[in-house]
């Protein structure tokens, strides 16, 4: 089974991707992993990618598609794979389709933006130890103070509300046309499904398995 798992930042996509890949005993493939492997192995595609990265340029979609084609044809993908972080845009989705890389499911984790903002903008951490807190779900005993050391807590730049809202805007702008593309395909493969991403991790996971009929 070949699956694409989509989801906004903070929706729990990474956790669900790991669980799903383990449950199905298929590899979770990310473009970053593929690029690093191709470069370290010194393949033709790896050398091409390295040239772009060395010059500070984005690796073109055509090179990424070739990497995906090579990767999904590897022996460990004979029973399927889970594509993580690709495609990200409509251009990439169409290129993947033109390359004839068959997919079974495109799954989107759906979480309301305000829920995402609450989840992410509430995160706090202790720089020295990495201990994490949440303003609502796991608050420190004293506001903005580490329970153990009494040191001030900090909020990562990525978790500030304005940053979270910007990331969500970018996600929706990129993903909405891609979702419509997969919804509008004339064939039943890949089948596009939405899964509500609010709830306990295991509850969301069971919803995904139900949609995949496994």
Catalytic residue list = 13, 88, 123, 156, 167
Tokens of 96: 């993947």
Q: Cβ distance 123 to 156 under 8 Å?
A: yes
Residue length, the chain? 214
Bond prior to 62 in cis (omega within 30° of 0): no
Dist. CA 195–CA 179, nearest whole Å = 13
First-to-final CA distance of the chain = 11
Dist. CA 168–CA 170, nearest whole Å = 5
Query: Count of CB atoms within 10 A of residue 152's CB?
Result: 11
Exposed, middle or buried: residue 165 (CB in 10 Å: 0-12, 13-18, 19+)?
middle
Q: Cβ distance 107 to 3 under 8 Å?
A: yes
Task: Work out the angle between the directed axes of helices 44-54 and 31-41 (0-180°, nearest 10).
Answer: 110
């Amino acid at each position: 089974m070949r699956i694409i798992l989509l989801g906004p930042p903070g929706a729990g996509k990474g956790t669900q991707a790991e669980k799903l890949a383990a449950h199905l005993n298929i590899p979770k493939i990310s473009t970053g992993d593929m690029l690093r492997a191709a470069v370290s192995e010194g393949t033709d595609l790896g050398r091409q990618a390295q040239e772009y990265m060395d010059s500070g340029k984005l690796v073109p979609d055509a090179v990424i598609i070739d990497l995906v084609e090579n990767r999904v044809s590897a022996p460990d993908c004979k029973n399927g794979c889970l594509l993580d972080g690709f495609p990200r845009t409509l251009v990439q989705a169409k290129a993947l389709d033109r390359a004839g890389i068959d997919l079974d499911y495109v799954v989107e984790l759906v979480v309301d933006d305000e829920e995402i903002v609450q989840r992410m903008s509430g995160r706090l951490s202790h720089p020295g130890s990495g201990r994490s807190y949440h303003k609502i779900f796991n608050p420190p005993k004293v506001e903005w103070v580490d329970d153990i050391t009494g040191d001030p807590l900090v909020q990562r730049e990525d978790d500030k509300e304005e940053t979270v809202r910007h990331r969500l805007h970018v996600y929706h702008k990129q993903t909405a046309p891609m979702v419509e593309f997969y919804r509008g395909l004339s064939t039943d493969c890949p089948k596009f499904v939405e899964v509500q991403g609010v709830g306990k991790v295991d509850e969301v996971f069971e919803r995904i398995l139900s949609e995949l009929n496994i």
